Structure 1
């Protein structure tokens, strides 16, 4: 197991531990108080715990090397995990609405031990703030969608815990217990938004959306550095699988070049792209210019290549 994989697993375990403690603490305090807001937070943390377990398993699975059944590796396990985590967020929101809406129609109920509730919310927000920052930092550093999704879970928990804290404070100051289910509903709406945001982002990778434009720009800049050594390139395709990037393209070269020279050119391009982007695999399919002469009308020709007079850069063809 490499250092990056060990780092990912370590922070995933940390999230499991913190979510376990917070779920138990919130549930005990919420039941003692009879607070929908605090119980809704316990439900949220319980789903966060399940999400952390899923993220942990996905991180372990994605680190496995490619095999006969998964020839492109196991990276998409992390994307699948992030979608499942997003669905769990939406399930948590439904659970909160089921509890809060009836209490809202009833005008709320008496809540006891407001101090305990406020204390557990502050502790929860502080712990989740620290853990979410750690998860998202490691997730971005290692390009792990599962850890980033888990970080978003805990980040929403920070906001919702603070929301419940504010609601309990308002109840203490005003005596209006109806504020408790109202806060619960607001928490649920925030969770719904976070869930849909995660689903939209994760589905993009599952459906093989191209790499971000800034990353494709890096690839094109590397190709431009070698433009004097080939005729043109086309069919550039990019995608992502978990933390891994895949790039393939067709490179049109002078047909008289020795295969060894063409192979060396491809190696140089691949190495430079790999040096610019993390965890990227590049596949270049080479074509002699004779096969692409129709696409290069006004540029090179088979006769010119045969005579070793082939133009080798787009700027020379103009």
Structure 2
């Protein structure tokens, strides 16, 4: 198909117009989201400190190794909460010249340190339990200890659930990690209560350190999981579910001018999602049209991921080999009939590149005389 000519110049057809606005889910105001994260961090530190004090009193009253192990983990909770609050304050800072992508990744560092702290607490619990086994446990005031541990466990459960909920709602891995840590502490406390009840019923104090060791294994696994996720985020590990959601959104929003898509990459900095990919389009599209495509894609992907999104689209010009997969009907540069559009799927989107592009044969450039 040949292009029309006007005054000796080829004239490209008017490409379809993109809508000025696309329906998207409205995200909460980012200032409010930051404030909510900070409030949750302050609450975690305040409640964690109070709970540690209660468990320390329970240990002094009972002499229980299991209660001491629970108190040791609460110390880690307080340290982790302080670290969490610091990371949230830093992450809330806007991007600057030294940190052009913002400070969000400090949350991943915080989550990794917290996971390490959990693992350290587990080791300390095992050491103390083994010492109690060697020297023989000595427990007193079991009823008082049970009451204090149950009360602090309930407070911890409410706090942990709140932190996880706020972390997920506002996309804060550090808050979610702290919430999981606190919930792991609840499991520890449940084990402690079970041990004290067993001692109370049977009179055999050996149950106390044995329960402490069993609980330590559980929180060690929790710590490992947090470190694993934090390291993955710091190294920009791919998130298959999020990539699939991105590709699905792009496929649903596809326009005839979207000939091919490849080299899709995504990574997160705190709550901000960064996405970039290459999009092959008709080579006669002007800058204004390409900008409109870029804006529309950014809005669509922000809706699909549920996160504030920064999208960069690298536009590749089509080549004659793309004619058979190009759905643009009134193309003035077509050299072959349309056969079948290449699908936009995960496998094709993750290709590193389409290969070398052949030179334009018989074209000096669109718009040239």
The DSSP-based 3-state class of the residue aligned with 1:122 is helix
Gaps in structure 2 of 5+ consecutive residues: 1-29, 344-369
Q: Larger relative CO (CA 8 A, sep 6+): 1 or 2? A: 2
TM-score by length of 1: 0.91
Match of 2:123 in 1: 94
Deviations 1:9-63 (A, max 9, x none): 1111111111101111111220232111111111001100111111111111111
Q: Which has the higher helix share?
A: 1
Separation in structure 2 between the aligned mates of residue 126 and residue 311 of structure 1, nearest angstrom: 71
Write out the 4+ residue segments of structure 1 that deviate beyond 4 Å after TM superposition. 296-300, 310-314
Q: How does 1:109-258 map to 2 (within 5 A)?
A: 109-213=137-241, 215-224=242-251, 225-258=253-286
Checking the alignment, whether the CA contact within 8 Å between 1:211 and 1:240 is kept in structure 2 is no
Checking the alignment, whether the CA contact within 8 Å between 1:232 and 1:253 is kept in structure 2 is yes
Match of 2:10 in 1: none
Separation in structure 1 between the aligned mates of residue 337 and residue 160 of structure 2, nearest angstrom: 51
Structure 1 range deviating more: 77-86 or 7-16: 7-16
Q: How does 1:271-310 map to 2 (within 5 A)?
A: 271-277=299-305, 278-290=307-319, 296=322, 299=325, 307-309=332-334
Match of 1:53 in 2: 82
Q: After TM superposition, give the deviation of residue 314 of structure 1 in Å.
A: 8.5
The DSSP-based 3-state class of the residue aligned with 2:280 is strand
Checking the alignment, whether the CA contact within 8 Å between 2:324 and 2:338 is kept in structure 1 is no
Checking the alignment, whether the CA contact within 8 Å between 2:112 and 2:226 is kept in structure 1 is yes
Aligned-CA RMSD value? 2.2
Match of 1:71 in 2: 100
TM-score by length of 2: 0.79
Match of 1:266 in 2: 294
CA 1:274–1:179: 2 relative to 1, 3 Å? same
Q: How many residue pairs align between the two structures?
A: 309
Q: After TM superposition, give the deviation of residue 72 of structure 1 in Å.
A: 1.0
Checking the alignment, whether the CA contact within 8 Å between 1:230 and 1:312 is kept in structure 2 is no
Separation in structure 2 between the aligned mates of residue 227 and residue 314 of structure 1, nearest angstrom: 17
**Bigger radius of gyration:** 2
- Whether 1:12 and 2:41 are equivalent positions in the alignment is yes
